[in-house]
Amino acid sequence: MIIGIDASRANTKERSGVEWYAFHLIHNLAKIDSKNQYFLYSNKEFRDDLKIDQPNFHLKVLKWPFSRLWTLGRLTLEMIFKKVDVLIVPSHTLPLVGARKNILSWHDLAYEHYPEVYTKSHLMSLKQGIKRGIKKADKIITISNFTRNEIVEKYNLSLDRIEVTYMGIDHKLWKKQDEKKVKNYLRENNFNLPYFVYLGRLTAKKNVPGLIEAYNIFRKQIARPHNLYLIGFKGFDFKLIEKAISSSPYSNEIKVLGYTPSKELPIIFAGAEALVFPSFYEGFGIPVIEAMASGCPVITSNLTALPEVVAGSGILVDPRNKEDIAKAMEKIVSDNNFKEELRLKGLSRAKEFTWLKCAKKTLEIIENI
Return the CATH number at 190. Answer: 3.40.50.2000
Residues in the chain: 369
Strand order through the sheet with 227-231: 254-258, 227-231, 195-199, 275-277, 298-301, 315-317
Q: How far apart are CA 171 and CA 343, in angstroms?
A: 16
Same domain flag for 77 and 105: yes
Query: Which CA distances in Å does 299 have to 197, 198, 237, 320?
Result: 10, 10, 24, 14
Backbone angles phi, psi at 348, to 5 degrees: -70, -45
The predicted model scores a pTM of 0.90
Report the relative pairing of strands 162-164 and 195-199 from DSSP bridges.
unpaired
Same domain flag for 335 and 187: yes
Same domain flag for 163 and 205: no
What's the confidence (pLDDT) of residue 117? 75
Q: How big is the CA angle at 87 (ends 55 and 105), to the nearest 5 degrees?
A: 115
Same domain flag for 84 and 116: yes
Domain membership flag for residue 66: yes
Cβ atoms of 253 and 192 within 8 Å: the answer is: yes
Same domain flag for 193 and 164: no
Q: How far apart are CA 60 and CA 74, in angstroms?
A: 12
Count Cβ atoms within 10 A of the Cβ of residue 149 and give its class: 0-12 exposed, 13-18 middle, 19 or more buried: middle
Same domain flag for 140 and 204: no
Please count the CA atoms within 13 angstroms of the CA of 233 that sit on its side-chain side: 8
Same domain flag for 60 and 91: yes
Tally of domains in the chain: 2
Instruction: Give the helix/strand (H/E) hosting 42.
Output: strand 37-42
Same domain flag for 117 and 227: no
Q: How far apart are CA 207 and CA 244, in angstroms?
A: 11
What's the confidence (pLDDT) of residue 189? 96
Domain membership flag for residue 128: yes
Same domain flag for 288 and 309: yes
What's the confidence (pLDDT) of residue 118? 81
What's the confidence (pLDDT) of residue 67? 86
Q: Is 251 helix (H, G, I), strand (E, B) or coil?
A: helix
Domain membership flag for residue 206: yes
Same domain flag for 198 and 143: no
User: Which residues lie below 8 Å from residue 155, measured CB to CB, with a gap of 6+?
Assistant: 130, 134
**Cβ neighbour number for residue 238 with a 10 Å cutoff:** 17
Residue 81: give the domain boundaries.
2-168+354-367
Query: Which CA distances in Å does 89 have to 64, 322, 350?
Result: 18, 38, 26
Same domain flag for 344 and 358: no
Q: How far apart are CA 279 and CA 256, in angstroms?
A: 17
Cβ atoms of 108 and 147 within 8 Å: the answer is: yes
Same domain flag for 136 and 183: no
What's the confidence (pLDDT) of residue 297? 98
Query: Which CA distances in Å does 194 have to 165, 238, 249, 272?
Result: 36, 25, 18, 7
pLDDT in 10s for each residue of the chain, 369 residues: 999 999 999 999 878 778 989 999 999 999 999 999 999 999 999 999 999 999 999 999 999 999 889 999 999 999 999 999 999 999 888 999 999 999 999 999 989 998 887 888 889 889 888 888 898 999 999 999 999 999 999 999 999 999 999 999 999 999 999 999 999 999 999 999 999 999 999 999 899 999 999 999 999 999 899 999 999 989 888 999 999 999 999 999 999 998 899 999 999 999 999 999 999 999 999 999 999 999 999 999 999 999 999 999 999 999 999 999 999 999 999 999 999 999 999 999 999 999 999 999 999 999 999
User: Which residues lie below 8 Å from residue 138, measured CB to CB, with a gap of 6+?
Assistant: 101, 102, 103, 161, 369
